[in-house]
Amino acid sequence: MIPTLLIAGPVLLVLTVLCCRTGVRIARLRRDLAARRATLELLHRAARRPGPPAAADLGRLRRVEDGLAGGFPAAAAEDARKAAAIRGIPVRDRLAMVRSVAAWQRLDEQAPARTVRDRFDLVVVSHFGLPGGTTSANEAEIRIWHEHGLKVGLIHHPVYAWGPNAPVHPRIRALVDAGAARLIDRDAEIECDLALVRLPTVMERPLERRPAVKAARTAVLVNQTPYRRYDESGPHDHAWDIATVARNVEEWLGRPTWYAGGPLVLAALRRHHAAETAGLDLAAEPWNEAIAVADWRLGPRRTPDGRIRIGRHSRDDALKWPEDPQTLLQCYPEADPFEIHVLGGADAPRQVLGRLPANWTVRDFGALTAREFLARIDVMVYFIASDGLEAFGRAPLEAMAAGVPVIMDPRFEPTFGPAAVYCAPEEVADAAARLAADAEAYAAQRSAAWDHLERHFSARALMDRLRLGAPAAGPRQRTGSGDGHRVPAGVDDRR
């Protein structure tokens, strides 16, 4: 039972929160609604108090609500404990916050035991609310697995530090609504042939309310390096801890096989993290992302008009762009006949240059679909910060699949091989001009990319990696009862 709340100052408020039991059964709807109502009332009062509310204080109060609703009740109680000790928040507001946590716990204690049981061929644990490459990769693979008759379950796992109750991305929600996958309830008890963790960062702080999963095999896909920056002096800007993720995955899902999200990640793990990965089952070959080339392939190239449209599609982040002004302008020339078209925002290059050149056209994420954007450009140029380590590069992969030639930093050659053109920044303008002027060279580069993608990044390559026994001709057809598909035996250790 939760102890009676005694109003005796901030110290007892802190003790009250510490006494709240966490991780007990859930009365989902009543609990979440009660917690949301109480916390919203608190936020409204905080907003009405004299003087401007402290943004940090309001952020802490919102995080308590989000933590309770998002599957992190113990973390929410800890956030409430810290907020209860902040003198800048009125005592009545701190008391209301503690009451909201206590009400949540009280309803949670009354919840029934787990009753939902199910079995899946494949369960993916990932942050299904991100706007960039992780969601695009998840979407592509879910479609492929569904087309090959697999029963796919999704465990939506926000990263606590980024927002503990982040919603599922609309594109993933659409797949669920169409029956391509099922979102797994946090109360479920499930079995699966393969549990796949995509984005190791989610397991830095795993869900406290989470399904019970019994997996025959487990894999971790390292699609983000442990550090964000690498140079000759070593790694910088820590992102996640290998030992912490390994421990949390094993405690929940079983001992995994680890797969690098591309050759560059595998090289970084071997060079910079050999001691940390020594005890792990690290696969010798990377897990390349998959793409349905037929769905991306465009028709004839844009009709030449004397202009050369260089495109760039990526998240607007400093690591995604060259950090040196001269290098950036060599990659994206400020000169005729070039036009620079950017999808995803351009605050990062604006910071580097102090301005945006007049020949740039910038659109925010969502203004166009990636395929619509690619149909409007002639070539894609993809260069990043000198100390950045791109785990894979989903945007250039999509351009290659669409039939748009890609000019890249030579660092990406181990990942994409003959599917791209590689050169130094000062050679970009000449490379783009040659492709734009030579129809045969343009068509040859298109064909080389499509051939390479079919062999290394296609549905067939993905299914071979999973050792699913899919026929070479294409996806299996489900029977009407849903029992006609083959189940996976897990990730192939030879890959």
Residue 472 lies in a domain: no
Is the same domain home to 267 and 326? no
**For 442-489, how does the pLDDT look when each residue is reduced to its tens digit (9 = 90+)?**
999 999 999 999 999 999 889 988 863 333 334 444 333 333 334 344
DSSP string, 399-436: HHHHT--EEE-GGGHHHHGGGSEE--GGGHHHHHHHHH
Domain boundary among 91, 109, 127: 109
The secondary structure of the chain in percent helix, strand, coil, rounded to multiples of 5, reads 45, 15, 40
Is the same domain home to 421 and 371? yes
Residue 191 sits in which domain range? Answer: 117-282
CATH number of the domain residue 165 falls in: 3.40.50
Is the same domain home to 32 and 141? no
Domain boundary among 282, 317, 344: 282
Among 5-9, 230-234, 292-296, the minimum mean pLDDT is found in: 5-9
Beta strands in 234-326 (DSSP E): 234-238, 257-260, 281-282, 308-313
Average pLDDT over residues 328-339: 96
Q: What number of other Cβ atoms are within 10 A of residue 140's Cβ? A: 23
Residue 15: pLDDT over 70: no
Is the same domain home to 240 and 137? yes
Contacts of 314 by beta carbon, 8 Å cutoff, 6+ apart: 132, 320, 344, 382, 395
Distance CA 484, CA 239 (A): 42
Element (H, E) at 456: helix 439-456
Name the pLDDT band for 393 (thresholds 50, 70, 90): confident
Give the residue with greater pLDDT, 176 vs 87: 176
Is the same domain home to 277 and 319? no
Is the same domain home to 238 and 336? no
Is the same domain home to 216 and 321? no
Q: Write out the two tokens for 343.
A: 């999808």
Is the same domain home to 131 and 227? yes
Domain boundary among 282, 302, 317: 282
Residue 5 lies in a domain: no
Residue 3 lies in a domain: no
Determine the distance from the C-alpha atom of residue 3 to the mean position of all C-alpha atoms in its chain, rounded to a whole number: 40
Is the same domain home to 122 and 164? yes
CATH number of the domain residue 419 falls in: 3.40.50.2000
Residue 129 lies in a domain: yes
Q: What number of other Cβ atoms are within 10 A of residue 352's Cβ? A: 19
Distance CA 186, CA 164 (A): 14
Sign of CA dihedral 266, 269, 270, 275: negative
Distance CA 155, CA 420 (A): 35
Is the same domain home to 123 and 99? no
Give the residue with greater pLDDT, 158 vs 236: 158
Is the same domain home to 205 and 226? yes
Residue 288 lies in a domain: no
Residue 29 lies in a domain: yes
Report whether 486 contacts 276 (CB < 8 A).
no
Is the same domain home to 349 and 406? yes
Distance CA 161, CA 138 (A): 21
**For 30-42, how does the pLDDT look when each residue is reduced to its tens digit (9 = 90+)?**
555 555 565 555 5
Among 26-35, 281-290, 406-415, 448-457, the minimum mean pLDDT is found in: 26-35
Residue 241 lies in a domain: yes
Residue 491 lies in a domain: no
Among 7-21, 63-77, 223-237, the minimum mean pLDDT is found in: 7-21
Quote the number of domains for the chain.
Answer: 3
Q: What are phi and psi of 332, to 5 degrees?
A: -130, 80
Distance CA 97, CA 58 (A): 12
Average pLDDT over residues 164-190: 95
Q: Write out the two tokens for 280.
A: 């792990």
